[in-house]
């Protein structure tokens, strides 16, 4: 009887809503668990933890969700509350709110299918860049059917609870009693705001289990709050002077000399014997090009037949790693040669102008440096970053209709993009200037659409077709480039921005960061394989080495062909790692550290090596220090 009386109180509708929210969240969590059942640590204890901690996060989310409704219920007088107008307003709000939950649940399933995580920073990006995202969703999924299903489910849920809901909108209560109820309800979200964070659900080293214990809606708001993490506040640190002293040892090379005695100044003079080569650099950064696609790395689907041939004619780096799981992370590493600092990529952060980039170096040496993108470069702040760091920007707005044979939500197809890159190169050649073109592809991205009749896999049938189309477009580009006068003096680079999937059983699955680096220049470089472990931060120094170029450097990376880095820096938004000597040190934003022994695709926990931990702390602490203290600028 007491419970029925509570449901019939002024706040009974919120309680009813809470039960529906918990039921939907339980269903979503169960569906996601079944989807990746083979990857989840599903012992009895873990099962209980996933659902118990999951319910806790659901309750936290509910407590935030209902705050506006509690304020309304606090102040609306009984006369209005018991009126017919309020009844219909309540119906609308209730149905819409349930609709949002159902829609969020459907979205979470698709998001999990793509990224194997609950909503996170990526979802925040999707909320910000609505044009591209909505177009992508419309092209990728049967939205009319999904929306109809959402409405039917929402309406069905409302029909089931309408009788109980009606009782809650015909009640009377005194203001003091309402205020007391509200204060009690507000105490929980207030306490959660200051004490609960994403890491509170880290129940195991199995990433899938941790993600299932979260709530997707909570994750979105948590991502808004934590778009940048202060290194010293969230991670293990050492004295800054000690960190920079160690960094100087880590980045010192045989052809470099520091320009200052100041331990905090990492500037050093890089010298090579002989004159600068003035080769052109055509960098093709391929969307989501995992190393596992290649035959050389065990790929069995034959979706990179042309690149499989190209690697035999190229300098091919077989032990190369992406620094992150997003395009902007790849861009950051390839241009800045800087470890992936926690939070948003520097590409997206404010005050990222005039940084020490490959573009600024080459532009100062007389090159035309250009960023060439198939879509709208305002996405992810790309145009601003490149435009203020030494690059001319060429994006979708610079493609007249006559130059577009095919496009989708993300931009023009790769063939059209490469044709534009040839135009830009021709223009620089006519000026008598060497060029560096940073080309970013988009075809290997959902909805995976591309021109018909180009390859033997139909458009819009999945990633394999998109990868094979990009492979076809790259081969066509290189063939056609041979007809241009600048070809013989050009270094072509093919590298991924990140892997196609970053999901794994551990927080940083090393094999999901393995990408190809191919340097093709038949008139300049002899074909060979290089097995040195390196990552995207080593790209810029290596290219400058191939150019035999003297320069002043602040780069964290090394010329792979001169000094073997034998380490890789990899990370997500919150977890940052150092891979070295078959050991992966992972730092988490709760001042906690994990260590794993790497053997193939297996990662087994092991004791932390103090020296490796110090190196991991050094790389990330100093990178964060230099950026935040404006010590990583091109001109001090």
Binding site feature residues for Mn(2+): 287, 327, 497-498
| Cα(264)–Cα(258) distance, integer angstroms | 11
In a 10 Å sphere around its CB, with 0-12 CB exposed, 13-18 middle and 19+ buried, how is residue 275 labelled?
Answer: exposed
Known binding positions for substrate: 445
Coil, strand or helix: which one is 600? coil
Which residues are annotated as catalytic? Answer: 327
Hey, what are 301's tokens? 């689907």
Strands (E) in 265-399, as ranges, are 268-270, 280-286, 315-321, 368-373, 392-394
Residue with tokens 């935030």: 64
Is residue 275 a contact partner of residue 256, using CB atoms and an 8 Å limit?
Answer: no
| Cα(577)–Cα(555) distance, integer angstroms | 18
Q: In this structure, are strands 435-440 and 368-373 parallel, antiparallel, or unpaired?
A: parallel
Known binding positions: 287, 327, 445, 497-498
Least Cα distance to 222 among 409, 384, 423, 60 occurs for: 60
| Cα(224)–Cα(121) distance, integer angstroms | 8
Is residue 265 a contact partner of residue 570, using CB atoms and an 8 Å limit?
Answer: no
Is residue 504 a contact partner of residue 521, using CB atoms and an 8 Å limit?
Answer: no
With b meaning 16 or more CB within 10 Å and e meaning fewer, what string describes 505-542? bbbbbbbbbbbbbbbbbeebbeeeebebbbbbbbbbbb
| Cα(634)–Cα(195) distance, integer angstroms | 40
Give the other-Cβ count within 10 Å of 431's Cβ: 10
Least Cα distance to 537 among 507, 571, 489 occurs for: 571
| Cα(120)–Cα(112) distance, integer angstroms | 11
Least Cα distance to 340 among 586, 600, 30 occurs for: 586
Hey, what are 569's tokens? 């820096």
Residue with tokens 């073109």: 437
């Amino acid at each position: 009887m007491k419970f029925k009386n509570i449901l019939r109180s002024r706040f009974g509708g919120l309680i009813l809503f809470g039960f529906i929210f918990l039921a939907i969240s339980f269903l979503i969590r169960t569906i996601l668990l079944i989807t990746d059942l083979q990857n989840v640590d599903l012992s009895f204890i873990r099962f209980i933890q996933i659902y118990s901690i999951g319910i806790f996060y659901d309750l936290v989310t509910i407590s935030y969700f209902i705050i506006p409704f509690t304020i309304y219920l606090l102040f609306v007088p009984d006369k209005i509350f018991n009126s017919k107008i309020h009844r219909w307003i309540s119906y609308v709000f209730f149905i819409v709110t349930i609709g949002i939950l159902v829609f969020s649940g459907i979205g979470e399933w698709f998001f999990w299918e793509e990224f194997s995580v609950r909503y996170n920073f990526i979802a925040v990006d999707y909320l910000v860049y609505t044009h591209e995202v909505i177009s992508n969703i419309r092209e990728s999924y049967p939205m009319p059917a999904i929306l109809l299903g959402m409405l039917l489910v929402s309406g069905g849920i409302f029909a089931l609870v309408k009788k109980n809901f009606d009782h809650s909108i015909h009640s009377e209560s005194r203001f003091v009693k309402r205020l007391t109820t509200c204060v009690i309800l507000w105490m929980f979200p207030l306490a959660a705001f200051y004490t609960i964070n994403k890491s509170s659900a880290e129940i195991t080293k199995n990433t899938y289990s941790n993600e299932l214990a979260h709530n997707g809606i909570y994750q979105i708001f948590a991502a808004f709050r934590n778009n940048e993490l202060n290194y010293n506040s969230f991670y293990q640190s050492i004295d800054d002077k000690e960190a920079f002293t160690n960094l100087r040892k880590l980045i010192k090379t045989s052809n470099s000399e520091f320009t200052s005695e100041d331990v905090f100044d990492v500037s050093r003079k890089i010298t090579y014997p002989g004159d600068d080569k003035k080769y052109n650099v055509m960098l093709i950064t391929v969307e989501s090009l995992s190393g596992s696609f290649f035959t050389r790395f065990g790929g069995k689907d034959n979706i990179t037949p042309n690149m499989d041939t190209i690697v035999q004619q190229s300098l091919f780096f077989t032990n190369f790693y992406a620094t992150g799981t997003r395009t902007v992370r790849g861009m950051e590493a390839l241009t800045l040669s800087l470890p992936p600092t926690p939070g948003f990529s520097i590409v997206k952060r404010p005050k990222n102008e005039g940084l020490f980039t490959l573009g600024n170096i080459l532009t100062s040496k007389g090159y035309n440096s250009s960023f060439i993108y198939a879509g709208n470069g305002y996405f992810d702040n790309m145009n601003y970053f490149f435009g203020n760091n030494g690059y001319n920007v060429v994006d979708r707005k610079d493609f007249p209709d006559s130059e577009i044979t095919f496009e989708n939500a993300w931009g023009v197809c790769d063939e059209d993009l490469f044709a534009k890159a040839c135009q830009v190169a021709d223009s620089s050649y006519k000026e008598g200037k060497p060029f560096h073109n940073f080309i970013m592809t988009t075809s290997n991205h959902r909805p995976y659409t591309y021109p018909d009749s180009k390859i033997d896999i139909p458009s819009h049938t999945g990633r394999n077709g998109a990868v094979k189309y990009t492979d076809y477009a790259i081969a066509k580009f290189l063939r056609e480039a041979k007809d241009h006068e600048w070809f013989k003096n050009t270094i072509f680079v093919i590298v991924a921005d990140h892997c196609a999937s970053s999901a794994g059983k551990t927080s940083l699955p090393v094999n999901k960061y393995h990408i190809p680096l191919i340097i093709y220049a038949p008139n300049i470089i002899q074909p060979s394989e290089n097995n040195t472990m390196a990552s995207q931060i080593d790209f810029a120094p290596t290219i400058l080495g191939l150019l035999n170029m003297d320069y002043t450097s602040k780069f964290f990376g090394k010329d792979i062909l001169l000094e073997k880095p034998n380490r890789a820096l990899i990370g997500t938004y919150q977890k940052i790692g150092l891979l070295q000597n078959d050991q992966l040190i992972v730092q988490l934003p709760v001042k906690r550290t994990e260590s794993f022994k790497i053997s193939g695709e297996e990662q087994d926990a092991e004791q932390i090596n103090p020296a490796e931990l110090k190196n991991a702390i050094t790389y990330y602490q100093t990178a964060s220090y230099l950026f935040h203290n404006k010590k990583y600028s091109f001109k001090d």
